[in-house]
Chain A
């Protein structure tokens, strides 16, 4: 187990940008979901405006 432990310990000294990049709060489904919601809002907004205008 010494070698595995060494990799685990040496990883502590890798470039900090990789640590920051992989931080749990920065990744994941939440971001993807937010992006999806954002995209659907952007897509539905013109439709809503068009419906609104056409009713007038």
Chain B
């Protein structure tokens, strides 16, 4: 079933919408949740919560990109759960590693002039992504949006782990330079 038909089912308040969503996107959502939480049980719960959230959010947010819509919900739910676990010192998965890497993107404090709101920061990141080579952009998003392990990214793109790490390092440095050039602090 294509996304348009599934969205129509949500709009018609048909419970088949959830079944069809699960058929098509359970693996996708599970991957996102598992990368963050590193637990099949927690990931499964987040995926089930995703369907419930989609069920209640769909009437007001008719998203044409259903995968991104569902992926965002799963990512948010999983990151919230991760924060809860991290507070209890039970943090696992790729989040601490990704956060550590993202430290490279933080501009030096002496070069920054202004703190930006989220909207401005999103515009800067969108423009940064737009001008990036496609494969580099995909690798960046796989690491920091999907929080995929380096090893998995390397396998999927048929490149070595060291090349993946180097690509990510260079990309983070470019983002930091852009933020510094704009005189932005986070």
Contacts and interface: CB of A to CB of B under 8 A. Distances in A.
Interface stretch (B12-20, B39-47, B69-77, B161-169): B69-77
Interface string B71-101: 1100110010000000000000001001110
Nearest to B65: A16
Chain B binding surface SS class = helix
A8 interface: yes
A34 to B, nearest CB: 12
A7 B102 contact: yes
Given A3-B106, A6-B186, A13-B118, A28 B137 contact: no
Contacts of B72: 12, 19
B75 A28 contact: no
A42 to B, nearest CB: 21
Interface residues of A, number: 30
Given A3-B106, A4-B102, A16-B65, A11 B125 contact: yes
B2 interface: no
Interface in A22-56: 22-25, 27-30, 32
A6 B79 CA distance: 12
Interface of A: 1-25, 27-30, 32
Q: Kindly list the 3 A-B residue pairs having the minimum CB-CB distance in the complex, ordered from nearest.
A: A28-B156, A22-B141, A3-B186
